[in-house]
């Protein structure tokens, strides 16, 4: 279960929270060349991406917001409900290596990690593509 700080709103230039949505700071859109993808799921208070048999807490680009009813993740380009699929540029990192994010975001992501110990992180400033809703 994610820590209580996950309920604090306030996505900013340095990253933050909006409901269970964890966000990175604003960036230029550059970053890792890997692809982050999966099905959006909500497990307890943790927003995760499920890919194959693994679940990863996810850090979205700045500006991503949470819609409580019906539960969905909001992007400038559209809305993906729980159960929808997304992909975009980024990478998978162990929680202790998320040093460029605010401590609160890192701690919330670490509280949600599964057996892989990894967090899915979309590149700051990148666009997330919705592949199914």
Can you tell me the distance from the alpha carbon of 45 to that of 117, in angstroms, rounded to the nearest whole number?
Answer: 17
| DSSP bridge pairs for 18 | 21
Q: Which pTM was predicted?
A: 0.84
Structural domains for the chain: 4-132 (2.40.50.140)
pLDDT in tens, 83-104: 999 999 999 999 878 877 888 8
Residue 27: both structure tokens together? 């960036």
Map tokens 């990148």 to a residue: 126
Are 62 and 25 within 8 A, CB to CB? yes
Q: According to DSSP H, which parts of the chain are helical?
A: 103-112
Whether the predicted pLDDT of 3 surpasses 80: no
pLDDT in tens, 40-69: 999 989 999 999 999 999 999 989 999 999
Can you tell me the distance from the alpha carbon of 121 to that of 69, in angstroms, rounded to the nearest whole number?
Answer: 25
Angle, CA 101 vertex, CA 51 and CA 95 arms, to 5°: 45
Can you tell me the distance from the alpha carbon of 67 to that of 28, in angstroms, rounded to the nearest whole number?
Answer: 25
Whether the predicted pLDDT of 109 surpasses 80: yes
Q: Which of 63, 36, 58 is nearest to 108 (CA)?
A: 58
Q: In this structure, how many other beta carbons lie within 10 angstroms of the beta carbon of residue 89?
A: 19
Give me the pLDDT at residue 26, please: 65
Q: Tell me which of 124 and 25 has the higher pLDDT.
A: 124
């Amino acid at each position: 279960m994610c820590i209580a700080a996950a309920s604090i709103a306030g996505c900013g230039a340095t990253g933050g929270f909006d409901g269970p949505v964890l966000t990175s700071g604003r960036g230029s859109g550059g970053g890792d060349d890997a692809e982050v993808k999966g099905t959006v799921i909500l497990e307890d208070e943790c927003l995760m991406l499920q890919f194959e048999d693994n679940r990863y807490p996810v850090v979205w680009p700045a500006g991503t917001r949470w819609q409580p009813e019906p539960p969905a993740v909001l992007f400038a380009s559209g809305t993906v409900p729980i159960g929808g699929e997304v992909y975009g540029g980024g990478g998978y990192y162990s929680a202790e290596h998320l040093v460029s994010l605010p401590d609160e975001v890192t701690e919330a992501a670490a509280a949600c990690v599964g057996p892989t110990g990894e967090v899915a992180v979309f590149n700051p400033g990148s666009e997330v593509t919705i592949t199914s809703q």
